[in-house]
């Protein structure tokens, strides 16, 4: 059913007030096909929403919003070592992680507590604590708006990069992701090399952690520094960590020998955007209801009634000051509408 003038404030984790001119919840592929056959998609390009956790509305949406509510989890293949699961795109990501962990299937436990839906996960190649969804992803199933057919895109079709994929580039606007296929391991080895995970596990005296322990440790770390969108509007990391030439790192090290950096392609390094932003004095900054989270400088927050345009204005000031101070351009990671 297509509705007019629907509020979408509860459908974006920034909690921004906006309306959709046209709005439709998609609970089956048949429903999607009937929207496709109607003339609506020709008249207005559709915007697809999953968990609404990576989108910033700066205005009401003049076209059609499709809310992905496709549900279901299926095992497609299984042997003694691994399974191929297909999870419908409207499923909640974190609940899917908990489902895998509870069954003892490894591969996505480091991606615990990332907000959003399963269908959105491959679009920005979600990642955290040394893991990215592309490491387990086998296929993406999607409805192709160009042809009206459901197609399967392979891992290589998806052209994954750091917080990047085909769906953010050439494929943008063409597909409605319907399901994601992932290979999970029955005898998983854990990946605890990143940041604080090892320290948390040691504090709990876990010398041989399993995937449930790693998941619990990551949930604890995330809850200690990232704001819960149900309590404080946000979209996780607002900017990407910038990948810069090694000469830029050398320039920054002249005054800040302590700066951390992470490996990237030859001749480049990845810098922690949160550190750059914090050095420029923005951590905990608040202007009206738009602010920079006090525990993680990469996260912009809405304290209540901030407008999308106010959040963007703050983001632009942050970009400018990081550019002036460090000669580094920060790229916004969140989708702006």
> How far lies 8's CA from each of 12, 14, 26, 53, in Å?
7, 11, 15, 12
Tokens representing residue 114 in the block: 């990332």
Is 163 an active-site residue?
yes
CA 28 to chain centre: 24
Judged by CB under 6 A, the chain residues 115 through 134 that form the site for ligand EPU are 128-129
Contact between 261 and ligand EPU (CB under 6 A)? no
Contact between 298 and ligand EPU (CB under 6 A)? yes
Q: Which of 53, 215, 237, 261 is catalytic?
A: 237
- Tell me the C-alpha distance between 11 and 14, whole Å: 9
- Least distance to ligand EPU, CB of residue 272, Å: 3
Q: Which of 91, 109, 141, 333 is catalytic?
A: 333
Residues 6+ apart with CB under 8 A from 247: none
Question: Closest residue to ligand EPU, Cβ-based?
Answer: 236
Candidates 82-90, 164-172, 249-257, 275-283: pick the segment binding ligand EPU (CB under 6 A). Answer: 275-283
Residue whose token pair is 């592309």: 134
Is 336 an active-site residue?
no
Is 237 an active-site residue?
yes
Contact between 278 and ligand EPU (CB under 6 A)? yes
- Least distance to ligand EPU, CB of residue 181, Å: 22
Name the packing angle between helices 93-102 and 211-225 (round to 10°).
Answer: 150
Contact between 183 and ligand EPU (CB under 6 A)? no
Name the packing angle between helices 246-255 and 308-326 (round to 10°).
Answer: 80
Please give the helix or strand (H or E) that residue 61 lies within, else none. Answer: strand 61-68
Residues forming contacts to ligand EPU in the complex (CB under 6 A) are 128-129, 195, 236-237, 240-241, 260, 272, 274-275, 278, 283, 296-298, 333
Catalytic residues: 163, 237, 333
């Amino acid at each position: 059913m297509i509705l007019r003038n629907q509020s979408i404030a509860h459908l974006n984790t920034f909690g921004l007030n906006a309306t959709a001119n046209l709005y439709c919840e998609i609970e089956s592929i048949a429903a999607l096909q009937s929207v496709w056959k109607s003339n609506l998609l020709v008249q207005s390009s559709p915007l697809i929403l999953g968990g609404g956790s990576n989108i910033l509305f700066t205005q009401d949406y003049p076209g059609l919003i499709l809310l992905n509510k496709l549900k279901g989890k299926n095992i497609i293949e299984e042997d003694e070592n691994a399974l191929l699961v297909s999870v419908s795109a409207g499923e909640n990501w974190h609940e899917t992680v908990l489902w895998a962990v509870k069954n003892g299937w490894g591969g996505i436990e480091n991606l615990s507590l990332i907000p959003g839906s399963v269908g959105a996960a491959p679009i920005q190649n979600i990642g955290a604590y040394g893991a990215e969804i592309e490491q387990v992803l086998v296929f993406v199933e999607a409805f192709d708006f160009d042809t009206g057919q459901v197609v399967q895109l392979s891992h290589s079709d998806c052209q994954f990069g750091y917080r990047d994929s085909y769906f953010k580039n050439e494929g943008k606007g063409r597909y409605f992701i319907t399901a994601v296929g992932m290979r999970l391991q029955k005898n998983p080895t854990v990946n605890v090399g990143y940041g604080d995970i090892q320290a948390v596990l040691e504090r709990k005296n876990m010398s041989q952690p399993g995937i449930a322990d790693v998941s619990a440790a990551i949930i604890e770390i995330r809850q200690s520094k990232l704001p819960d969108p149900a309590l404080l509007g946000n979209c996780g990391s607002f900017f990407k960590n910038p990948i810069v030439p090694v000469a830029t790192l050398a320039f920054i090290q002249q005054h800040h020998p302590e700066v951390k950096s992470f490996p990237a392609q030859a001749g480049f390094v990845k810098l922690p955007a949160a550190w750059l932003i914090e050095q420029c004095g923005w951590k905990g900054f608040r202007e009206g209801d738009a602010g920079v989270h006090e525990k993680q400088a990469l996260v912009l927050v809405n304290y209540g009634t901030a407008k999308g345009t106010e959040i963007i204005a703050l983001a632009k000031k942050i970009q400018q000051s990081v550019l002036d101070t460090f000669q580094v351009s920060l790229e916004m990671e969140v989708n702006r509408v």
